[in-house]
Structure 1
Amino acid sequence: MQTKILVVDDEQSMREFLAILLEREGYYVAQAENAEVALKLLESDTYDLVVSDVSMPGLNGMALLARIKTTTPETAVLMITAYTTAEQAVEAMKLGAYDYIAKPFKVEEVKVLVKNALEKSSLQKENRRLKHEVQERYSFSGLVGKSKKMREVYDLIEKVANSMANVLVLGESGTGKELAAKAIHYNSPRHDKPFVAVNCGAIPETLMEAELFGHKKGSFTGAIADRAGLFEQAEGGTLFLDEIGEVPLQLQAKLLRVLQEREFRRVGGTSAIKADVRIIAASNRDLEEQVKEGTFREDLFYRLNVVPVLMPPLRERPEDIPPLVEFFYKKFAQFSGTGEIITPCAMKALMSYPFPGNVRELENLIERCVVLGNRVVSEDCLPPQVVNFQAGTVAGGVVDLPEGGMNLEAYLDGIEKRFLLQALSRSGGVKKKAASLLGMTFRSFRYRLAKFGMEDD
């Protein structure tokens, strides 16, 4: 897109001179004989740079500069005058002008100033765009779904984001626990501070303490220099401890001390370091069961579990599959235009499948289809276990155990919920009739609805 410049000067000869000069440099140039005309042009179009004289009848250049910075602060402004003073220059810069140039000026000087002003403006726009993109990405758009269960998650994130309370995000693998943690961070007062994530299960026990708290030079073999740990890297922001259940008991005691005292020591260090860090932990394991087994400290569990956020598995919110398919398709596909992105048969297969790998598994399936060059997600690009699952359940037969294994509980839950939904659909939502269709008592039917969180849907 061609760069647009607006030249504002009450002297026609100066306007035309600047317009010819800048057009030769490849810019699109519009002209205005006074500030009032300039403001009308700025209302109807967007300009990357305004080059304005200071002394003009009516609204002067300084007033125009102030109006521009109020309405379109991203527009760069270069001021020109025949009567330059230090006071004017300071005032112009305070009002937001990129620079100030006095007449008579050299042509090359104008070219350089214009080029630099446009580069700075472009950089500022890009920074704003990236910041907006980050905030938008982690506001809630990374968490897709309009089901009742997901709406409850959004509401809880909004409530907890502005507090300093520790949060424990629970859920099966692939349900989006890290996305929930990022949504909390980027909607909190700490959003412009670091978000540091660590998978506790991926760090060897012998290195975990140094990874979290840092170490002093010579504290162990290989410690050739002082090193800051993740707590220091997350200072002022949020530290996300994924798979917290994998942390060994000895280190759990040190984590508890950080949460209580808000300070820690590096490995081999003697001085305490303050920790202004919010902790969000996550686990796909039953931490309460680990507490009973003695593999997780009860006091640490209660410190972390101030606000629990439960991420629902995908099989419990099948109504979110269509928007998730669209979201991932747009993420991976480079195809332009609108129209069908998934065939009805493929969608039926996805809606019937229990997704033991949850949202991450669905994301991988859609990426697979796109990588294979499919402009429309069809059964042809779906893996056999998805298509065969649907075929087997529809026919009432038994699906062969996939070579990679399967989550039997998730499989059976998926079948059960699918038939509950079908019975409700065929009965027009009348639960007694739906229970009769499935050959069960009304009480048993309600119990099964409650089991899947469908009682109030």
Structure 2
Amino acid sequence: MGNGTVLIVDDEPNAIKVLSAILLEADYNVVESIDVDMALKALHQEDVDVVITDLRMPGRDGMQLFEHVTENHPDIPVIFLTAYGTVDSAVHAITHGAFYYFIKPPDYLKLKSILARAVEQRRLKREIEALRKRLAEETSLPRIIGKTPQMLKIFNTIETIKDSESSVIICGETGTGKELIARALHFGSTRRDRPFVAVNCAAIPRELLESELFGYERGAFTGAVSRRIGRFEEASGGTLFLDEIGELDLSVQSKMLRVLQEREIERLGSNRKIKVHFRLVSSTNRDLEREAKAGNFRKDLLYRLNVIQINVPLLRERQDDIPLLVSEYVNEFCIREKKVLTVSDEVMRIFHDYHWPGNVRQLRNVMERAVVLSKGETITSRELPDEFVSLKKREGPLHSLRTLSELESEAVKNALRVCNGNKSKAARLLGISRKALYKRIKDWNIE
């Protein structure tokens, strides 16, 4: 109900009945408990805004419940309502953070006024916490770094479309920084003070993804012990980022299409329609047009998603950005590790020649390792993983070097041989997408 959820705790059934009737008439949702043990279960299962509790009860009393709420749910106000009040108990409760202390029978008009203030205080606390979380996200946001033409084009696109409501799809291989671009679109826009909700579609089991997105009511299915707000509602007013959207099951795709068309949802276990308004940004490392032709992705949903497309280049396609990225990561991890380090020319040459199958994410991990392991003032090849050391050993006269294309072709052939021709396994072994593997097989006419 509209005004909030109130947990009433009292061992007298008639007292609960009277207060429940008054609060229900005032448009509150009421949860009833006749003892502290029931109240603790309700706090775990329900999204409670305020607790109204008696003081003296069999077993654990109201003061023990108050102490539990203060320690475990500090944002929930507690109001005492007791027939056995004393000055000492009232002073103890108020000085330890109770919101108010009533003697039975209370002035119900005043109780409703105090209750409204308590609900509003809880909502304000939650909003402040959400703002703090968003501020922490924004201030800790890694920067998108680059000076190559491909990256400058992306920067220009972000600046142009950041305040638009149109859907955006970000395409690129794993580790190229797709989520960074999604965050830049949100935190650089007028939505920056609203939620940024990220969902990794590949990480959530298919049978749970629908409930994760739409939410559910209590009792909607086995294990649904309380209502849960879904990601569509959570993102309302802000940005919903669906990472690896190509992993969505066809049944969820059809429901998502309806959400994008109608801008409303129904939680699982409910037929009440809830309006939602968010900007959708999605990402994929798949060729969704090919997936649509193969019947694995809905064409009508693809048209809805692909209003604006941003293609993120591979790291080896923007080698001039590697020195900038290295400098950024060395600085980041040196601050954390309290070190001052430089990077040797030898390491930079190795980085320039390396093919970076894991893209920017791999470079960041390599630099973190190098900073942590470095004992001197300069990062050398000794701090690099084995695959970089083997690349260094192959250095020699220019005529003895093989081209990057030859090295990649050999790696693809070896992976296919090891995986007995299974292209999905070979792609995972190489750390690239199936789309990228198919392209290389076609380019090099690999049988």
Residue 132 of structure 1, CA deviation:
7.6
User: What do the CA deviations read for 1:329-372 (whole angstroms, capped 9, x no partner)?
Assistant: 1111136687x610000010011101000000000000001121
Measure, in 2, the Cα distance between the counterparts of 1:246 and 1:320. 31
Measure, in 2, the Cα distance between the counterparts of 1:184 and 1:385. 35
SS in 1 for 2:255: helix
Aligned to 2:174: 173
Measure, in 2, the Cα distance between the counterparts of 1:367 and 1:288. 37
SS in 1 for 2:216: coil
User: What do the CA deviations read for 1:231-266 (whole angstroms, capped 9, x no partner)?
Assistant: 111111111000000000000001001111111111
User: What do the CA deviations read for 1:268-316 (whole angstroms, capped 9, x no partner)?
Assistant: 1101111111110000111111001100000100100100011111000
Contact 2:131 2:193 in 1 (8 A): no
Matches within 5 A, 1:414-429: none
Aligned to 1:193: 194
SS in 2 for 1:163: coil
Give the aligned residue type for 1:179.
L
Measure, in 1, the Cα distance between the counterparts of 2:208 and 2:317. 38
Give the aligned residue type for 2:189.
S
1:376 and 2:381 are equivalent in the alignment: no
Measure, in 2, the Cα distance between the counterparts of 1:129 and 1:229. 21
Aligned to 2:368: 367
Matches within 5 A, 1:47-446: 135=138, 138=141, 142-334=143-335, 341-374=342-375, 375-392=377-394, 395-396=400-401, 405-406=429-430
Contact 2:216 2:268 in 1 (8 A): yes
Q: Cα distance 1:243–1:342, how it changes in 2: closer, same or farther (>3 A)?
A: same
Contact 1:235 1:275 in 2 (8 A): yes
- Among the aligned pairs, what percent are the same residue? 42
Measure, in 2, the Cα distance between the counterparts of 1:169 and 1:408. 17
Residue 129 of structure 1, CA deviation:
11
Contact 2:174 2:433 in 1 (8 A): no
| TM-score (normalised: structure 2) | 0.59
Q: Cα distance 1:365–1:275, how it changes in 2: closer, same or farther (>3 A)?
A: same
SS in 2 for 1:241: strand
SS in 1 for 2:379: coil
Q: Cα distance 1:288–1:331, how it changes in 2: closer, same or farther (>3 A)?
A: same
The structure having more radius of gyration, on CA atoms, is 1
User: What do the CA deviations read for 1:131-188 (whole angstroms, capped 9, x no partner)?
Assistant: 88755654xx621111111111100011110100100011000000000000000111
In the comparison of the two structures, how many residue pairs are matched? 285
Contact 1:366 1:377 in 2 (8 A): no
Residue 377 of structure 1, CA deviation:
2.0
Contact 1:353 1:390 in 2 (8 A): no
Measure, in 2, the Cα distance between the counterparts of 1:181 and 1:245. 16
Contact 2:285 2:433 in 1 (8 A): no
| TM-score (normalised: structure 1) | 0.57
Measure, in 1, the Cα distance between the counterparts of 2:231 and 2:284. 19
SS in 1 for 2:277: coil
Contact 1:263 1:272 in 2 (8 A): yes
Runs of at least 5 residues in structure 1 that lack an aligned partner in the other structure: 1-126, 417-457
CA root-mean-square deviation: 3.2
Measure, in 1, the Cα distance between the counterparts of 2:267 and 2:237. 18
Residue 376 of structure 1, CA deviation:
2.4
